[in-house]
């Protein structure tokens, strides 16, 4: 904040601009930028998990391969989300906006439960539909995030 005379009060415009800059810096500190690859990778991993669930009754060794792949990918997703959400390098005690995060988690859970309940009624392809819907629901906030924080 600059003033024209030493010790004089800032103008209302200068004060407002200083407060806006301080709020922007606080926001950037509370919510560090997420790398550009995060949302597409997360969406892709979730889609692959759902597609693997759509495999019609795998037999023999394929059943084991599919099961191990689904578990490994689910652990990878959990580790990725945990790392980007709770354990960002160089940051401690990140501010999580649970009001914004919780609905997304509930939608993901609802899609998985719906696919699980409907797979015997309409077919296992419902997992592919759930996976595409989930991937789109991950990518849309990612696009909004990139527009809001273009440096990420």
Listed by start position, the domains of the chain span: 37-148
What is the structure's pLDDT at 89?
67
What is the structure's pLDDT at 117?
95
What is the structure's pLDDT at 83?
84
**146, HSE (Cβ side, Cα atoms, 13 Å):** 11
What is the structure's pLDDT at 31?
65
What is the structure's pLDDT at 94?
63
Q: Which of 139, 120, 110, 123 is nearest to 47 (CA)?
A: 139
The residue whose two tokens read 């989930």 is 134
Give phi and psi for 32, each to the nearest 5: -65, 150
What is the structure's pLDDT at 51?
95
Q: Which of 133, 98, 93 is nearest to 112 (CA)?
A: 133
Cβ(152)–Cβ(35) under 8 Å?
Answer: yes
- 38-54 in b/e form (b: 16+ CB < 10 A) is bbeebbbbbbbbbbbbb
Which residues of the chain fall short of a pLDDT of 70?
1-7, 28-32, 89-95, 151-152
What is the structure's pLDDT at 92?
66
What is the structure's pLDDT at 90?
67
């Amino acid at each position: 904040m600059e003033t024209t005379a030493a010790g004089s009060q800032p103008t209302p415009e200068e004060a407002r601009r200083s407060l806006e800059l301080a709020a922007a810096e606080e926001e950037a500190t509370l919510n560090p930028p997420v790398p550009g690859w995060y949302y597409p990778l997360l969406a892709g991993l979730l889609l692959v998990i759902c597609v693997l669930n759509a495999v019609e009754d795998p037999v023999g060794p394929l059943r084991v391969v599919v099961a191990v792949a689904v578990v490994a990918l689910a652990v990878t997703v959990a580790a990725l989300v945990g790392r980007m959400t709770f354990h960002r390098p160089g940051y401690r005690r990140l501010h999580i906006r649970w009001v914004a995060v919780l609905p997304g988690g509930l939608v993901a859970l609802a899609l998985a439960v719906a696919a699980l309940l409907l797979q015997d009624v309409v077919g296992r392809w419902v997992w592919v539909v759930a996976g595409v819907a989930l991937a789109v629901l991950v990518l849309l906030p990612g696009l909004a995030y990139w527009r809001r924080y273009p440096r990420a």
